[in-house]
Amino acid sequence: MANWTQKKLLVTIGGSALGLCLMAGGGIYYTMGLVSDVETQVTQKEEAVAAAEAKIKRTAGLERDVIILRENLDDYVKVLPNTKDLTAFVRMLDQFDRQSGIQSTGLVQKARRDGKGERFTPIEYTYEMTATLWQCMKFMNLIENFERFVSITEFSIQAGGEKKGEDTREGDVVHKVKLTLQTYAYNGKSEGKDVVIADYDTQRDLLHEVIWKRRQAIRLDRYNHRGAQGRRDILIDPRERGDLRVDGPSQAEQRAVLERYIGEVTRLREMHLKIKKQDTTLFEQYSLEKGLKDGLEKMASTLDTDASRLSYALYRLRWAKEVVTPLDELRGQIDAVAKAQPVKTDPYLPQKEMQQLVAEMAADCSSGQLEQAKNRYDAVAGRMTVPSGDPRHELAVAAKSWHVKATTALDFKGLDLRVQGVVVNREGRSGVLLNGETYEEGEYVSDDLLVKMVEEEQVWFVFRGLTLVRTM
Amino acid sequence: MIRINLLPAELRRGNRLPTKVLAAALGAALATSASIGWFGLVWFGDLAAAEGKLLSVEARLGDREKKVAYVDLLEANQKDYATRVQTILDIGKSRRVWSKFLDELIDVVNNNGDAERHIAWIDSLSVKGDPKKGAAVTMQCSVQGEEQDRLANFHDDLEAAPFGKEVTRSDPVWKRDDDKARLPPVSLRFPLTLQFQPTVKEVPKAKPAPKAPAKK
């Protein structure tokens, strides 16, 4: 080396330095690559951390959802039967048979899918029966209102009654019915693992209201079948059969009965409307109420008998709709009004009404409307026994007095008094020829009837202490 | 001429390290030191810092993995329950209350006893359920008399019925029928189909992703 030339030395030094620098540069480049890789990993991991944090932030919401869903699912599945319930369902069918009156002829289970690992396995039965339309509808309605989910997926009704002498029940024709009933068996344990949520019970209690609200979503549609309500069986030809002798009234007679009742119902309804009007007086109300009550009683006494005379399906429906239903409504309205009336603590007629009663009775008696005056008092008689200490006592006495007068006058009017002639004596006692006998003024015709005065045109009597005039 | 240096070797001028070489060696040493120093800085500085950061992030991620696994389980549960609940809701909605439909149909046929509008009856009635297409009600009906407007009235009343908007009716057609055993003997017979809409609308399933070719 000592003999190396300067040039050689310079080349060696330069070369070595360059080599070392290049190595260091390579190392730097490599390290930078490593740093870049590590930074990429850091970025990825940071993104993963951010994603994890975002996910973790949803924990509370997810827990809430899971609790609500789990609780509701437990409730929802109650509508689906398990194996035990299916046995109970068959027993229930028997009960429905008896409730509806149908006669079942067969229950066949359709081929059941294996359903291994399936949470919901459909189960189908075909149910055959004979039933009237109303029995069939009641049975279907009972099935559809059953607490467990059962769906009628298919059904067919073959109308009966075409041939003479075919089976009837309660007067209705029996049809052949075939129903396909479907339900689902629920297998809650098929797969999956339920996550354990800390403090589950407390959280569930806090979410009680939300759980309840969501639970309403599964409420199955229910319907209450209305029954026949006088409607005719739509599977029966309603036309008259010429080949059968029909007992009872003809269609025209049935129509007359129906229309008579419809007319009467209309009259009673109008009467009821009048009662409700504000402009009617107490006494008008009384007579309307009495008329309505009498009308209803009269109709009720003949309703069932006449109803049985209507055999034509179309008239039976009109009977139900236009007679029975309005009559029930009318009765209901009258009962409701009676119930709604507050209990009166004052047993006597208010003073104002009593004054009105006295004035109207006086007017009636003056105008000769004795019957009306009597009726006015009779309508409120129960509320006229006012004690002497009550300020209305005088009015009650006055009303009673008018009632006595009216009643006496009416009784007098009802007496068989035939005035056949009079003898008027200006100087002394005049006489009257009454029912073939002569009576002088001051003579008694009977214990409570006295001839008071005889004039040319009229005879004055005293009847039960009341002076009354009989004109010739 | 040949020159001979007779001085001892260490005193000879020509054997001293030349300045150029010295400068080159110094420069080389500096460059090498700088390079190696830079490398050291990058290796022990940047790389170590990045690795430290990575370790820290990994530790943070590790901390969250347990919670994330819990959330994943919750999500799986939520999805599973939601599917089951939806299935039950669909089952519940899939049911049509046929006793209600029959009650309404009886009202239409009876028509409050209005014999002027139509007097109709049904000879047979069958219902077939189809979850995809909806249930179909097939009837063989008749109306009394030979006036076609009675049949039209009956169709109008079916349309106005509570179920009228849910169904598609078959078009009115008829065939005269004479039954001498009945009074009046003439009636118009006609088939009638009421097609209900499906109770549960099917959501189209997402297409499955195409399968990757099998590796050989």
| Residue from B19, B77, B199 whose CB has the most chain A CBs within 10 Å, to mutate | B77
Given a cut of 80, is residue A190 above it in pLDDT? no
Residue of chain B nearest A178, judged by CA positions: B126
Q: How far apart are CA A16 and CA A333, in angstroms?
A: 121
Given a cut of 80, is residue A241 above it in pLDDT? no
Between vectors from CA A465 to CA A445 and to CA A456, what angle results, nearest 5°? 55
Q: Report the pLDDT value the prediction gives residue B214, as an integer from 0 to 100.
A: 46
CB < 8 Å to B135, chain A: 153
Average pLDDT, integer, range A57-82: 84
Two tokens, residue B35: 């390079």
Given a cut of 70, is residue B206 above it in pLDDT? no
Q: Where are the alpha helices (DSSP H) in A77-199?
A: 83-100, 133-144
Two tokens, residue A422: 């009079």
DSSP 8-state symbol, B5 = -
Q: How far apart are CA B164 and CA A292, in angstroms?
A: 41
Given a cut of 50, is residue A383 above it in pLDDT? yes
Among A101-115, A143-157, B177-191, where is mean pLDDT lowest?
A: A101-115
Q: How far apart are CA A124 and CA A169, in angstroms?
A: 29
Interacting residues of B135 by C-beta distance below 8 A, sequence separation 6+: A153, B96, B127, B128, B129, B196
Q: How far apart are CA A261 and CA A263, in angstroms?
A: 5
Buried b (16+ CB within 10 A) or exposed e, A49-86: beebeebeeeeeebbbbbbbbbbbbeebbbbbbeeebb
Confidence of residue B215 (pLDDT cuts 50, 70, 90): very low
Two tokens, residue B99: 């006793």
- Mean pLDDT computed over every residue of chain A: 84
CATH class, domain A416-472, is mainly beta
In angstroms, how far is CA A287 from the centroid of its own chain? 32
DSSP 8-state symbol, A220 = P
Q: A84 touching B, CB under 8 A?
A: no
Residue closest to B137 by CA, chosen among A134, A223, A229, A234: A234
Per the CB < 8 Å rule, is A140 touching B85?
no
Two tokens, residue B160: 């106005």
CB < 8 Å to B137, chain A: none
Q: Report the pLDDT value the prediction gives residue A134, as an integer from 0 to 100.
A: 93
More confident residue, A173 or B5: A173
Q: A144 touching B, CB under 8 A?
A: yes
Q: Report the pLDDT value the prediction gives residue A348, as an integer from 0 to 100.
A: 85
More confident residue, A119 or A33: A33
| Single pTM value for the model | 0.61
Residue closest to A134 by CA, chosen among A227, A216, A266: A227
Q: pLDDT tens digit string along A114-168?
A: 556 677 888 888 999 999 999 999 999 999 888 778 889 999 999 886 665 567 8
Name which of B51, B119, B180 is nearest A238 (Cβ-Cβ): B119
Task: Specify whether the CB–CB gap between A442 and A451 falls below 8 A.
Answer: yes
Name which of B25, B115, B121 is nearest A234 (Cβ-Cβ): B121
Q: How far apart are CA A282 and CA A293, in angstroms?
A: 16
Among A276-280, A303-307, A440-444, B195-199, where is mean pLDDT lowest?
A: A276-280
Per the CB < 8 Å rule, is B127 touching A156?
yes
Count of beta carbons in the 10 Å neighbourhood of residue A273: 10
Rounded to a whole number of angstroms, the distance between the first and last alpha carbons of chain B is: 86
| φ, ψ dihedrals at A190, nearest 5° | -65, -45
Given a cut of 90, is residue A87 above it in pLDDT? no
CB < 8 Å to A156, chain B: 124-127
Count of beta carbons in the 10 Å neighbourhood of residue A267: 13
In angstroms, how far is CA B87 from the centroid of its own chain? 15
Q: How far apart are CA A264 and CA A245, in angstroms?
A: 32
Q: What are the strands, taking DSSP E only, across chain B?
A: 120-128, 136-144, 167-169, 175-178, 182-183, 186-196
For residue B135, the distance in angstroms to the closest alpha carbon of chain A comes to 8
Domains A79-188 and A416-472 share a fold: no
- Supply the CATH classification number for the domain A79-188: 3.30.70.60
Q: Report the pLDDT value the prediction gives residue A289, as an integer from 0 to 100.
A: 83
Percent over 90 (pLDDT), chain B: 56
Given a cut of 70, is residue A113 above it in pLDDT? no
More confident residue, A253 or B16: A253
Question: Hey, what long-range contacts does A343-352 have (CB within 8 A, 24 or more apart)?
Answer: A347/A383, A348/A383, A348/A384, A348/A385, A348/A386, A348/A390, A348/A392, A348/A396, A349/A380, A349/A383, A349/A384, A349/A392, A351/A391, A351/A392, A351/A395
Residues found in chain B: 216
Residue by residue, DSSP assigns B7-35 as S-GGG-GGGSPPHHHHHHHHHHHHHHHHH
Interacting residues of B14 by C-beta distance below 8 A, sequence separation 6+: B5
Q: pLDDT tens digit string along B65-124?
A: 989 999 999 999 999 888 888 888 888 888 889 999 999 999 999 988 788 899 999 999
Given a cut of 50, is residue B216 above it in pLDDT? no
Buried b (16+ CB within 10 A) or exposed e, A232-264: bbbbbbbbeeeeeeeeebeeeebbebbeebbeb
Q: pLDDT tens digit string along A350-362?
A: 888 888 889 988 8
- Mean pLDDT computed over every residue of chain B: 86
Residue closest to B192 by CA, chosen among B166, B163, B169: B169
Two tokens, residue B29: 């040493």
Distances (CA, A) of A342 to A63, A278, A290, B14: 57, 18, 21, 145
For residue B169, the distance in angstroms to the closest alpha carbon of chain A comes to 19
Give the residue extent of every domain in chain A: 19-49, 79-188, 251-340, 347-414, 416-472
* Beta-bridge mates of residue A177: A129, A157
Q: Return the amino acid letter for A425.
A: N
Region label for A227, one of left (φ > 0), alpha (ψ between -120 and 50) or beta (otherwise): left
Average pLDDT, integer, range A386-402: 89
Q: Where are the alpha helices (DSSP H) in A128-246?
A: 133-144, 200-206, 208-215
Residue of chain B nearest A70, judged by CA positions: B81
Average pLDDT, integer, range A103-110: 88
Task: Specify whether the CB–CB gap between A109 and A125 falls below 8 A.
Answer: yes
Task: Specify whether the CB–CB gap between A132 and A174 falls below 8 A.
Answer: yes
